[in-house]
Amino acid sequence: MKTNFILYHRGPIPEYFEDCIAQIIKTQTNYNLYTITDAIVNYNHECLIKINLKDIIPQELCNLHFYANDPNPLWRTSFERFFYIKNLVMILKLQNIIHFDNDVLLYKNVSDIINILDINIPHIGLPPHKVNELVCGFMYIKNINSLQMLCSNLIKLANKGVAVLEHEFSTMPHEMRLLGYIQANCGNLITLLPVLPVDPWNSMLDKLQCVFDPSSYGQYIGGTHSANGADKLIYNPLNCYRIIDPLIRDNIITPYFDSVSKQPFVTYMGQNIPIFNLHIHSKHLKNYV
């Protein structure tokens, strides 16, 4: 079963984006890799297919003002990527799609688990960051129907406007919280991927024999964009509601990057469980390829 990776980036291509691409090529088999951008990707490979985002502009976004005028373009870009991915998947009739942020590194072959994901995830799989937030550290999408349902729900929320959603959510309604809301309120559209080595509620953990990183493992190992220190991350009071961080802080689990195998693990009860991906928030991807 072929895997279809789709990456999305708006604006000048940063160096770490090409590190992300190189790691996919290094670790994967039986795949296509699509990049949706409005810039030139210098990296070339037989499996890499470059798509100009201007060729697949989603009509749903043309008159939508959700975060359109925000001084930080990240909020709009993070939201709109799902619609560009939907258009590409629809045009090319793709299935078994993997998407993630551009500061993510893969360490295992998706081909080894794609059948497990296909069987156990009805539509979309995402790792939880907080109880009410999901992050695209790793995202599985079954088919176009899955994306159409996701985008339909995103549009319904965005049409309420930022101010209304801020009141309903009691916080900023960025795409991570929109995804969390959809997971909690829209049936089986979004399935949670395992992020902890102990999770009696996640039946996929035993089948996959690995965990996924929404962001906390990568931040602990590689630091954040503003602090290259794990202690500054896990002891930050703002992070006490994350799913992973409190277990690291209380020494129940310990993530680490093995310098010999060049792979990440999390230790729990004397066992080393592989981490499938790392979300390197500091953008220093070269240190962990």
Residues of the chain with pLDDT below 70 are 200-201, 227-235, 238
- Residue ranges of the domains in the chain? 3-192, 204-288
- pLDDT, one tens digit per residue, over 165-181 is 999 999 999 999 999 99
- The pLDDT of residue 195 is 96
For the CA atoms of 96, 82, 7, 53, the dihedral, rounded to the nearest 10 degrees, stands at 120
Helix axes 144-158, 175-185, angle to 10 degrees: 110
Structure confidence at residue 227 (pLDDT): 62
Check: CB of residue 147 under 8 Å from CB of residue 139.
no
Q: For residue 127, which of 83, 176, 80 has the smallest C-alpha distance?
A: 176
Please report the pLDDT score of residue 13 as a whole number: 92
pLDDT attached to residue 47:
87
CA atoms of 148 and 35, how far apart (whole Å): 20
Among the residues of the chain, which ranges form H helices? 15-27, 74-92, 114-120, 144-158, 162-169, 175-185, 204-208, 216-222, 230-234, 245-249
Q: Please spell the DSSP secondary structure of 212-243, one letter per residue.
A: --SSHHHHHHH--SS---HHHHHT-GGGTTBS
**Alpha helices in 45-136, H assignment, sequence order:** 74-92, 114-120
Q: What is the distance between the alpha carbons of residues 46 and 24, in angstroms, rounded to a whole number?
A: 13
Q: Report the DSSP beta bridge partners of residue 274.
A: 265
Could you tell me which of 283, 177, 197, 183 has the C-alpha nearest to residue 247?
197
pTM of the model: 0.95
CATH architecture of the domain with range 3-192: Alpha-Beta Complex (3.90)
Q: Give the 3-state secondary structure of residue 175.
A: helix
pLDDT of residue 226: 72
